[in-house]
Amino acid sequence: MLRTHTCGELRNKHVGKKVALAGWIDKIRNFGKLWFIDLRDKYGKTQIILREGEIDKKLLKDLTIESCIGVRGKVLNRKDVNKDLETGKIEVSGNELDIYGKSLPMPFELNDEKVSEDLRLKYRYLDLRSEKLSKNLYLRHKIVQFMRDFLDKEGFMEVTTPILTKSTPEGARDFIVPSRIHPGKFYALPQSPQQYKQLLMIGGIDKYFQIAPCFRDEDARADRSPGEFYQLDLEMSFVEQKDILDLMEKMLIKLVKEILPEKKITNVPFPRLTYKEVMKKYGTDKPDFRKNKKDKDELAFCWIIDFPLFEEKKENGHFAPKHHMFTMPKQNHWELLNKKDAHKAEAYQHDLVLNGFEVGGGSVRIHIADIQKRIFELIGFDEKDSEYFNHMLEAFKRGVPPHGGIAPGIDRLIMVLLGEPSLREVIAFPKNKKAQDVLMDAPSWVKDEQLEEVNLKLDLGKKKNG
Ligand code: ASP
């Protein structure tokens, strides 16, 4: 290792020791022949003193803010103790200096909240050095790690499902990927692993989860990233709706207690309200039950259940599913599906709401082929549309266990848990509002040869804009 300690580690007990530290120059102050540096890494900051004479003057003059350096020297007691720093009682008197990576002037100041979004995203690797992002990404890791451990202990198994899959008419717009080996055919990126997780249940996997990337070609919103996001996707066999809600609730209460102990949950158990009730009382299916909206440490979870199976508005005379087409209608409403008033049917759908944001949704699924076929008819699928789902209808003929699940959105859940105003504060490399990765410059043009390989020709007309 190029260091013996991190920049957040040294205390009085280390005084007199020879140490090596490495990190970035947070601040430089020069008093004649003395140079004071605040050296920073992921773990903290340490004051370094360098003296001209001991260190080559040319090297010292070359130091710039945010350059990456290594220093060897001795730990000393600090006279002017800095109470704001955990290492504030010591300093390191350096006698060797390496400049690993000199930095050009910074395009913006770290931790300055007024910097424009696109500038921050273009230099995201610099932005990631800020206290907030470094802390948020660490918490995100802890939260995801907690979910994995918790679900493992509950008997779940993580299974990865394909990224190149099939385009099916499922709600959002698909991202499609041309196939080179099968000219003219396309894969689609999964909007969610919904069908795969149901097939896993048919495969006897019993309890599945995945930190799953999902891709939807939708416009950005304050609480929705354009293009891609992550879900804690899970599915269980032989469960009723209550089992799914109880499990999630247990996980979230424990998660908050262990990872975010400064936060308080307003209501335990989480209130469970029906869609009808909540719409009547609050006029929204995402009620905010915080008692004090100014308290950034308050977390008010609730469940909304008994949603209508279909949206009120019919699309072209057909019904549109409220959740998705695999959601099980409530058993005492099955007979409504044969009549004109199918729109009166309610479903075993559940949404998890936190501080007024929908942070997850799921349902008990249809496991009976005839009901699934009927739903396809009601949403207006003709033979051809239904063919897209032949694999599901086939699988439904071969011993399907009753099953259900949920998929909390990881990015959105963490944004609300941490009280951040934007998803971009909890994602390492987010897209901007126009769905661009301004750091990599994606999307971008590809070479003509690449297009030829997949048998594509562009015909942009007036659409080409640089
Ligand atoms: N696949 C669903 C979604 O992405 C979630 C679920 O029903 O489990 O909304």
Whether 116 is in a domain gets the answer: no
List beta partners, residue 34: 31, 51
Instruction: Indicate whether 296 and 184 sit together in one domain.
Output: yes
Please check whether residue 397 is in contact with residue 357, taking contact to mean a CB–CB distance below 8 angstroms: no
pLDDT score at 76: 98
Instruction: Indicate whether 95 and 130 sit together in one domain.
Output: no
The domain that contains 73 carries what CATH number? 2.40.50.140
Ligand 1 pocket residue status of 94, Cβ below 6 Å: no
Domain count, the chain: 2
Q: Work out the average pLDDT over 356-362.
A: 97
Ligand 1 pocket residue status of 287, Cβ below 6 Å: no
Pocket test for ligand 1, best of 192, 234, 236, 349 (most atoms within 8 A of CB): 192
pLDDT score at 465: 60
Ligand 1, atom nearest to 326 Cα: 7
DSSP-derived pairing of the beta strands 186-188 and 68-77? unpaired
Ligand 1 pocket residue status of 359, Cβ below 6 Å: no
Whether 434 is in a domain gets the answer: no
Q: Does residue 413 carry a pLDDT above 90?
A: yes
Instruction: Indicate whether 86 and 146 sit together in one domain.
Output: no
pLDDT digits (tens, 9 = 90+) for 228-279: 999 999 999 999 999 999 999 999 999 999 999 999 999 999 999 999 999 9
pLDDT digits (tens, 9 = 90+) for 36-52: 999 999 999 999 999 99
Asked whether the bond before 308 is cis by omega within 30 degrees of 0, the reply is no
Question: What's the helix, strand, coil split of the chain in %, to 5?
Answer: 30, 30, 40
Instruction: Indicate whether 81 and 132 sit together in one domain.
Output: no
The domain that contains 372 carries what CATH number? 3.30.930.10
Question: How far, in Å, CA of 356 to CA of 412, rounded?
Answer: 12
Whether 223 is in a domain gets the answer: yes
Please check whether residue 442 is in contact with residue 434, taking contact to mean a CB–CB distance below 8 angstroms: no
Please give the full DSSP string across 158-201, using - where no structure is assigned: E----SSB-----SSPPPEEE-SSSTT-EEE--S-SHHHHHHHH
Instruction: Indicate whether 209 and 140 sit together in one domain.
Output: yes
Whether 405 is in a domain gets the answer: yes
Instruction: Indicate whether 69 and 179 sit together in one domain.
Output: no
Q: What is the pTM of this model?
A: 0.95
Please check whether residue 416 is in contact with residue 355, taking contact to mean a CB–CB distance below 8 angstroms: yes
Whether 313 is in a domain gets the answer: no
Instruction: Indicate whether 79 and 156 sit together in one domain.
Output: no
Percent of the chain with pLDDT over 70: 99
Atom 6 (ligand 1) nearest CA? 362
pLDDT score at 170: 66
Instruction: Give the range among 86-100, 118-132, 165-179, 264-278 with minimum mean pLDDT.
Output: 165-179
Looking at 101, 134, 161, which one is the last position of a domain? Answer: 101
Atom 1 (ligand 1) nearest CA? 194
Question: How far, in Å, CA of 252 to CA of 66, rounded?
Answer: 38
Please check whether residue 333 is in contact with residue 346, taking contact to mean a CB–CB distance below 8 angstroms: yes
Interval between CA 198 and ligand 1 midpoint (Å): 11
Pocket test for ligand 1, best of 231, 232, 325, 328 (most atoms within 8 A of CB): 231
Whether 373 is in a domain gets the answer: yes
Ligand 1 pocket residue status of 409, Cβ below 6 Å: no
Instruction: Indicate whether 230 and 290 sit together in one domain.
Output: yes
Whether 77 is in a domain gets the answer: yes
The two tokens of residue 172 are: 């959002």
Whether 242 is in a domain gets the answer: yes
Query: At a CB cut-off of 8 Å and minimum separation 6, what does 27 contact?
Result: 36, 37, 38, 65
pLDDT digits (tens, 9 = 90+) for 377-389: 998 888 888 888 8
Instruction: Indicate whether 212 and 266 sit together in one domain.
Output: yes
Instruction: Indicate whether 205 and 137 sit together in one domain.
Output: yes
Instruction: Indicate whether 173 and 290 sit together in one domain.
Output: yes
Ligand 1 pocket residue status of 349, Cβ below 6 Å: no
Instruction: Indicate whether 80 and 170 sit together in one domain.
Output: no
List beta partners, residue 403: 237
DSSP-derived pairing of the beta strands 272-274 and 301-305? parallel
- Which domain does 152 fall in, by range? 125-302+348-425
